[in-house]
Amino acid sequence: MKNKGISEENLNNVTCPMEFAMNQISGKWKLVILWHIYDQEVIRFGELMKSINKITHKMLSNQLKELVNDGIIHKEIYKEIPPKVEYSLTEHGKTLIPIMEMLFEWGSKHRKS
């Protein structure tokens, strides 16, 4: 598990549940990526790129790789030409849905139009 320089051993030794949770989902884009995957159920890389304003190709790739490594999303690779890759939430990732829904609701209520 690679997460911002925190080894798997150190991540498992984190005593504060909030610190552990934030290490799993921290990053400018991870919750936004997860929201789009949740909203679409299954989504391809290109669709994610179009859905998320201002994210770079490299940043999206890195964030997806971390989320896959942490078992939060599933990456399905289809052996065809051109290659087709789809992302979906794992059962572990689906446990974040109530949190994401609360954050979305909070953002809807408090953002300035």
What pLDDT is stored for residue 62 in this prediction? 95
Q: Which domains are assigned to the chain?
A: 29-110 (1.10.10.10)
| Distance between CA atoms of residues 10 and 62, nearest Å | 21
pLDDT digits (tens, 9 = 90+) for 38-90: 999 999 999 999 999 899 999 999 999 999 999 999 999 999 998 899 999 99
pTM of the entire predicted model: 0.81
Pair 25, 4: CB distance under 8 Å: no
Q: Taking Cα atoms as reference points, which of 40, 39, 52 lies closest to residue 60? A: 52
Q: How far is CA 100 from CA 32, 88, 106, 107, in A?
A: 9, 15, 10, 10
Specify the residue for token string 């994610």. Answer: 48
CA Rg, the chain, in Å? 15
Strand 43-44 to strand 84-89: parallel, antiparallel, or no bridges (unpaired)?
antiparallel
pLDDT digits (tens, 9 = 90+) for 8-40: 555 567 678 888 888 888 888 999 999 999 999
